[in-house]
Amino acid sequence: MRIVFMGTPHFAVPTLTAIVGAGHEVVAVYTRAPRPAGRGMAERPSPIEVAARRFGIEVLAPQTLRGKEATERFLRHRVDVAVVVAFGLILPKPILDGPRFGCLNLHASLLPRWRGAAPIQRAIMAGDAQSGICVMRMEEKLDTGPVGLVERVVIGEDMTGGELHDVLAQLGADAMVRALAALSREALLFTPQPTDGATYAPKIQNEEARIDWQLPAPTLHDLVRALSPFPGAFFEADLGKGKERVKILRARLAEGSGAPGVLVDSAPTIACGTGALRLATVQRAGRSPMSGEEFLRGVRLEPGARLA
């Protein structure tokens, strides 16, 4: 089929790659414009732009898709379908209605649960036992369209957001190729989303990543794994040169008790509102990840110290 692909982050790359590999004609890729990044703040193209240029596909990075000019440019591609994966811009109705088969979106949750920007992290933060992907036909409202294909995965007890991201990215790529094959035969059947059970997954805010040791250990365990490796749940402590921020990349539920935020032992185990959390892997600012034991050996923290 003749396709326009719309996406931006690493999550979208496997799907673009799979679509090209399946022999579809991707006539253009829409993505977000390059943004300053790194120490030098040089403009860095999106992962999808890098992949598209590797395949020799035209790349477009409009600031908006609203307006007559943007609509006309999109419609000139005369495509069968647009495939949208974590694009980042709102698609107005003239573009949604433009392709022969409309616009298909790959969403990383079991809709209607976790509509919105951060479904992977929110599912783990909530302690969900499963996640998955949905291929849906897009409507004007956010993630409300009818669903044509669903795949489910179990969220393991210690699975991180990064690990679930990678599983769903590959699963979604395969699902989208199968959905397109069915769509080309006009055999992809869509089911309206149920009205019950809808939840919203807003973008993760910086303040949400700060560990509140007053919370129960299971809640903090879910927060740590949801935000690992990025942006990373963190605490602050005086490590000998004033307060420093430390990310927790992996943690384990542990035995132990004490005032919330107090270092219980050299494992290292931290007391929570109820229960305790053992720091398995942490990362100090500007350094590589290290085990909890390595971390304690290199800083001035003894059992009884309090973390903020």
Does 222 lie in the same domain as 169?
no
DSSP state of 191: B
- DSSP secondary structure code for residue 143 in this structure: T
Domain membership flag for residue 135? yes
**97 shares its domain with 223:** no
pLDDT at 38 over 60: no
Q: What percent of the chain has pLDDT over 90?
A: 87
Q: Cα(46)–Cα(31) distance, rounded to whole angstroms?
A: 7
169-215 pLDDT tens trace: 999 999 999 999 999 999 999 999 998 999 999 999 999 999 999 99
Asked if residue 190 is part of any domain, the answer here is no
In a domain, 216, yes or no: yes
| Domain co-membership, 171 together with 261 | no
Looking at the structure, tell me whether residues 103 and 178 fall in a common domain: yes
Q: pTM value?
A: 0.95
Q: Give the CATH number of the domain where residue 256 resides.
A: 3.10.25.10
User: Can you tell me which residue has the tokens 């790659």?
Assistant: 17
Radius of gyration of the chain (CA): 22
DSSP assignments along 21-78, one per residue: HTT-EEEEEE-PPPEEETTTTEEE--HHHHHHHHTT--EE--S---SHHHHHHHHTT-
Q: How many domains does the chain have?
A: 2
Confidence of residue 77 (pLDDT cuts 50, 70, 90): very high
Residue 14 sits in the same domain as residue 105: yes
Only one residue has tokens 């969220």, namely 155
Does the bond joining 112 to the residue before it have cis omega, within 30 degrees of 0? yes
The per-residue pLDDT for range 204-261, each reduced to its tens digit, is: 999 999 999 999 999 999 999 999 999 999 999 888 778 899 999 999 999 988 999 9
Q: Which residue among 126, 151, 184 closes a domain?
A: 184
CATH of the domain at 144: 3.40.50.170
Provide the pLDDT for residue 126: 98
In tens, the pLDDT along 129-165 reads 999 999 999 999 999 999 999 999 999 999 999 999 9
- Structural domain span for residue 222: 206-297
| Residue 163 within any structural domain of the chain | yes
Q: What is d(CA 284, CA 248) in angstroms, rounded to the nearest whole number?
A: 9
Q: pLDDT category, 117, cuts 50, 70, 90?
A: very high
Domain assignment of residue 255, yes or no: yes
Taking only the tens place, the pLDDT of each residue in 53-68 is: 999 999 999 999 999 9
Same domain, residue pair 292 and 154: no
The answer to whether residues 161 and 230 belong to one domain is: no
Three-state secondary structure along 144-176? Answer: CCCEEEEEEEECCCCCCHHHHHHHHHHHHHHHH
Q: Please tell me whether residues 155 and 220 are part of one structural domain.
A: no
